[in-house]
Amino acid sequence: MSGSIRLTTARRLGLRSSLVTAGAILVFAGTSLAAGWSGANTITVSGNAEPSNSHSTATVGSTIHVILWNDQSVAYSVSADGGGSFSAATGLATTSGSVTYDALGIAASGRHVVALYKSIGPGNKRSLLVRRSADGGTTWLPQQVIASYTNATIDMGDADVGISGTNVTIAWTDRTKGKVMSRRSTDGGATWKPNQLIGTTANPTAAGKEGDVTVAVAGSRAYIAWTPGNRKGLALRRSTDNGATWKPLQTLSTAPGGYPGPEASASGKTLLISYNLTSYAVKVARSTNGGATVTSSTVVSGNYQEVEDVVVSGSKARITYGDGTIVNVRSSADGGASWAAPDNGVIEFGNHTNLSIVGTTTVIVYGVDDGFSATPYSIHST
């Protein structure tokens, strides 16, 4: 990380800080705390910027695509060298006087890249949008509307996207009705099939009902997981035909859940879904048969910890979690069946971590908020 950052507060609402400064302003260099990790590198974006809450990176070979939220606009950056460096970000959707944007997720397969975001405005209009690239992010095609609502206070909430080959799956919550919805494309996002109802949620937010939806895809398998109950539970629907049809709902947990919502990743027939309990236990639901059967295990418990992201690639898996000021990493060499001892304090005062695996290297893109601006950075294992 170049320069220094003046820290005034932890960014994420509701997270308690382990830092006590006795009224002083702490200045820190931003380098990683744990051995075996690079120093932090700035991802250049004009204005304030940060990764979206989840799934804001997508990896193809040694290329890592990143979607960023930038002053209520959406920006894109890419690394062609496995996270060693990132390009200066370019705008995908720019705030105007009557419309603002929020980044949600990005997915990539081969040369196909799909960026997912939402807009507020003009007026009461609320839209879920995509832009796609057919040349690996070099150029971007015009914006497309996936869903649109007219409500001054309620929109489609969080959403996620996955892609395998030219098959794209998008899922979101209709907050007005508490419905988890999906749309799919079979041509890399050029055209879209009609909406599909995946399930429902009673999970309340300040603006309607929010399912905290997450999407994972691998081959012809697609997965959508979400929070179905009133701040509790974990539900899963899966497809074996690229989202054309969906198997019956599977209830993976009925326990009270914590913030944030679940995160999913898939590779081959392995599926990992990380989630929190209100007891501050970080759990991982795992399947090795394409989601037909799923078992859960505890990654960490007994401390104030919340999961950030999870990723699986072949036999390698990684999970990040933290207390709002310090981010820790655990690694698995058997697809999440067991986890090595934690690599504690990999990131200091980071949030919104997003994981990628490139060969034997782990790459983390994350945000830091100093109370005045949010800045995206990346580190990688060495």
The percent helix, strand, coil of the chain (3-state, each to 5) is: 0, 55, 45
CB 271 within 8 A of CB 290: yes
Cα 118 from Cα 103, distance rounded (Å): 7
- Mean pLDDT, residues 47-76 taken together: 83
Give the pLDDT confidence score for residue 52 in this predicted structure.
Answer: 59
Give the pLDDT confidence score for residue 108 in this predicted structure.
Answer: 98
Residue 83 in this model has a pLDDT that exceeds 70: yes
Residue given tokens 């969906």 in the structure block = 246
Give the pLDDT confidence score for residue 15 in this predicted structure.
Answer: 30
Consecutive H or E run containing 162: strand 159-164
Q: Is the pTM of this model over 0.75?
A: yes
Give the pLDDT confidence score for residue 8 in this predicted structure.
Answer: 22
Q: Who wins on pLDDT, 369 or 316? A: 316
Q: Is the dihedral of CA 91, 93, 97, 102 positive or negative?
A: negative
The domain of 193 spans 5-380
Residue 80 in this model has a pLDDT that exceeds 70: yes
* CATH number of domain containing 136: 2.120.10.10
Average pLDDT, the chain: 86
> How many domains does the chain contain in total?
1
* Both tokens assigned to 258: 């914590």
Give the pLDDT confidence score for residue 33 in this predicted structure.
Answer: 60
Share of the chain above pLDDT 90, in %: 67
* Both tokens assigned to 19: 């830092």
